[in-house]
């Protein structure tokens, strides 16, 4: 305060009074901020309606209220996953069969928890007795394809795709021919839902992904679709994406009023012709099957192969004769779970050793129990062939107490510190008991001497 008054003396009392008035005005200003506090979302209110589209295919249209505390939505049909990571509050189930009763639920996923809607039952319409099989690409990097304006783009070189098909448990064949060349195979679940992420980085160019669903019971029954997308350079601005979001919000009310049928429009006709020629002229240079230990892995069908934490998953790869002429190949094994945690292992093999290759993939204790996907990517030159399979990760029981109570190796490892402390404590107690016993024994045993007998007057 004294220094403040001295500055007024030297600089002038007018300047001091002006400074005091300015500070008073600033102090009188109220600054307010609005902070969004997330809480658990409320259960969505789900509505469903059935109809037939222009191709005489049945569909079920779902819609629900938006939850402020939700970041995305998951849909389940009959208890099985139908779609995940939706950002919109509507969805068209194009995999519905003719005249089938379905039960749907929607899960609002938020940072503070999830909330599940009440189940809604609806019967699909019997549009045709001989319905043409269908497949669609529904999302690109978690965003509904129908909400993009033109060609969807991203800087992510391994973008995720998902979609649905009317063929239950279909084998999903995927091809990309624009660098690197990719032939991939995954499977759809019983609801026709499928999802796929490239196992290698895509070039920063415009690509076309071709997706074909094959009926595992009748390979002659197929459905195909394609999507043009672009991998942008890192330094490119995202203004186009922002404009697409604005256009989506402006037209969302129109989309909600009619059944949503995703359509992938191609603006570049020259690119379409070029990629079609590429696809027709390209042939898969090699292929392989994957076998997991135990049951034989049937491609395109989810399996319940079991593996145990802390042990190995034995994967056997069988190449065809066409692969032998390439000499060498690089193999990437990717294990991923629903929690997003993944592990990657690499091998470089020489076909001179034969067309069969085995790999013991370690399953660490940091992986939680549950269902996991094993993606095997084999790269030769500019071509990558990929196959996927599923397995169930469990804990192996070590001790069975009774009444169904099991002590697993994970229980032992997670409580190892307490077990060591308890062992040391028991050892210390045993040492103390041993020392006490030795003391008592030493007191009980002693030498009877002549002096002792004289003191006790047993002898003179």
The CA-based angle 95-124-63, given to 5 degrees, is 75
**Does the residue 168 lie in any domain?**
yes
Note whether 137 and 273 are same-domain residues: yes
Burial class (CB in 10 A: 0-12, 13-18, 19+), 283: exposed
pLDDT digits 0-9 by tens, 92-151: 998 888 888 999 999 999 988 899 999 999 999 888 656 788 899 999 988 888 778 789
CATH of the domain at 315: 2.60.40.1930
Contacts of 50 (CB under 8 A, 6+ apart): 58, 59, 60, 61, 96, 122, 123, 124, 125
Is residue 106 within 8 Å of residue 46, measured between CB atoms?
yes
- The token duo for 115 is 């909330």
The CA-based angle 300-301-304, given to 5 degrees, is 140
Total structural domains within the chain: 4
**Does the residue 316 lie in any domain?**
yes
Report pTM.
Answer: 0.60
Which whole number is the average pLDDT over 294-307? 45
3-state helix vs strand vs coil in the chain, percent to 5 = 25, 40, 40
pLDDT digits 0-9 by tens, 182-223: 999 998 988 999 999 998 999 999 999 999 999 988 888 899
Residue 385 bridge partners (DSSP)? 183, 378
Note whether 96 and 160 are same-domain residues: no
174 closest CA partner among 220, 116, 135: 135
**400 φ, ψ to 5°?**
-110, 115
In the 8-state DSSP scheme, what is residue 1?
Answer: -
High-pLDDT (> 90) share of the chain, %:
30
**CA gap 420, 115 in Å, rounded:** 42
What's the Cα-to-Cα distance from 403 to each of 394, 400, 406, rounded to whole Å?
A: 20, 9, 9
Note whether 214 and 272 are same-domain residues: yes
> How many of the other CB atoms lie within 10 Å of CB of 31?
4
Q: pLDDT band at residue 400, thresholds of 50, 70 and 90?
A: low
Instruction: Give residue 206's Cα distance to chain centre.
Output: 26
Beta strands at 370-380 and 328-337: parallel, antiparallel or unpaired: antiparallel
- The token duo for 387 is 């196959």
Residue range of the domain that includes 373: 288-397
**Does the residue 410 lie in any domain?**
no
- Identify the domain boundary among 131, 160, 178: 131
Q: Is the pLDDT of residue 396 over 90?
A: no
Contacts of 188 (CB under 8 A, 6+ apart): 164, 165, 167, 168, 169, 170, 171, 172, 194, 213, 300
Confidence at residue 48, expressed as pLDDT on a 0 to 100 scale:
93
Taking each helix axis as running N to C, give the angle between helix 2-11 and helix 13-27, from 0 to 180 degrees, rounded to the nearest 10: 130
**CA gap 207, 153 in Å, rounded:** 10
Residue owning tokens 């992904």: 209
* Most confident option among 95-109, 382-396, 430-444: 95-109
Note whether 277 and 376 are same-domain residues: no
Note whether 165 and 271 are same-domain residues: yes
Q: What is the chain's mean pLDDT, rounded?
A: 78
Q: pLDDT band at residue 29, thresholds of 50, 70 and 90?
A: low
pLDDT digits 0-9 by tens, 56-75: 788 999 999 988 889 899 99
Q: Concatenate the DSSP letters of all residues of 255-290 into one string.
A: HHTS----------HHHHHHHHHHHHH------EEE
CATH of the domain at 169: 2.60.40.10
Is residue 60 within 8 Å of residue 127, measured between CB atoms?
no
- 404 backbone φψ class: left, alpha, beta (φ>0; ψ -120 to 50): left
Cis (ω within 30 of 0) for the bond into 35? Answer: no
How many helices and strands in the chain, by DSSP H and E? 8, 27
Confidence at residue 30, expressed as pLDDT on a 0 to 100 scale:
54
258 vs 131, more confident: 131
Is residue 301 within 8 Å of residue 187, measured between CB atoms?
yes
Note whether 445 and 348 are same-domain residues: no
Residue count of the chain: 460
**Does the residue 459 lie in any domain?**
yes
Confidence at residue 147, expressed as pLDDT on a 0 to 100 scale:
78
**Does the residue 25 lie in any domain?**
no
Which whole number is the average pLDDT over 23-39? 58
Note whether 278 and 302 are same-domain residues: no
Note whether 80 and 216 are same-domain residues: no
Q: Is the pLDDT of residue 334 over 80?
A: yes
**CA gap 442, 453 in Å, rounded:** 20
Which whole number is the average pLDDT over 167-182? 91
- The token duo for 59 is 């569909």
**CA gap 435, 444 in Å, rounded:** 14
């Amino acid at each position: 305060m004294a220094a403040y008054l001295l500055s007024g003396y030297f600089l002038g009392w007018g300047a001091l009074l002006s400074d005091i008035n300015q500070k008073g005005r600033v102090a009188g200003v109220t600054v307010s901020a609005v902070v969004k506090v997330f809480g658990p979302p409320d259960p969505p209110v789900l509505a469903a309606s059935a109809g037939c589209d222009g191709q005489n295919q049945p569909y079920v249209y779902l819609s629900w209220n938006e939850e402020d505390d939700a970041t995305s939505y998951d849909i389940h049909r009959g208890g099985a996953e139908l779609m995940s990571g939706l950002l919109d509050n509507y969805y068209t189930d194009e995999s519905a069969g003719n005249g089938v009763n379905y039960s749907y639920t929607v899960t609002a996923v938020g940072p503070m928890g999830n909330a599940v809607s009440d189940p809604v039952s609806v019967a699909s319409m019997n549009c045709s007795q001989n319905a043409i099989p269908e497949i669609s690409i529904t999302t690109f990097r978690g965003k509904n394809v129908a909400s993009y304006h033109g060609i969807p783009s991203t800087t992510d070189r391994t973008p995720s795709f998902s979609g649905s098909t009317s063929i239950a448990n279909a084998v999903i064949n995927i091809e990309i021919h624009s660098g690197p060349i990719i032939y991939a195979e995954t499977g759809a679940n019983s609801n026709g839902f499928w999802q796929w992420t490239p196992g290698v980085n895509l070039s920063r160019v415009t690509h076309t992904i071709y997706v074909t669903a094959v009926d595992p019971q009748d390979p002659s029954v197929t459905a195909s679709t394609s999507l043009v997308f672009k991998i942008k350079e890192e330094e490119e601005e995202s203004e186009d994406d922002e404009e697409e979001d604005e256009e989506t919000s402006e037209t969302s009310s129109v989309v909600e009023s009619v059944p949503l049928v995703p359509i992938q429009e191609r603006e570049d006709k020259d690119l379409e012709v070029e990629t079609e020629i590429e696809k027709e002229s390209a042939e898969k240079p090699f292929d392989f099957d994957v076998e997991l230990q135990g049951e034989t892995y049937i491609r395109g069908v989810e399996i319940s192969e079991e593996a145990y934490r802390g042990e190995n998953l034995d994967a056997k790869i069988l190449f065809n004769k066409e692969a032998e002429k390439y000499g060498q190949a690089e193999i990437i094994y990717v294990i991923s779970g629903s929690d997003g945690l993944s592990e990657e292992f690499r091998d470089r093999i020489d076909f001179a050793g034969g067309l069969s290759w085995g790999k013991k993939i370690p399953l660490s204790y940091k992986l939680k129990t549950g269902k996991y996907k094993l993606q095997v990517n084999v790269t030769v030159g500019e071509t990558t062939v990929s196959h996927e399979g599923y397995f169930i990760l469990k804990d192996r029981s070590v001790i069975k107490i009774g009444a169904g109570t099991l002590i697993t190796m994970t229980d032992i490892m997670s409580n190892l510190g307490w077990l060591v402390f308890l062992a040391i404590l028991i050892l210390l107690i045993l040492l103390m008991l041993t020392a006490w016993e030795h003391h008592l024994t030493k007191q009980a045993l002693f030498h009877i001497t002549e002096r002792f007998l004289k003191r006790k007057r047993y002898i003179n």
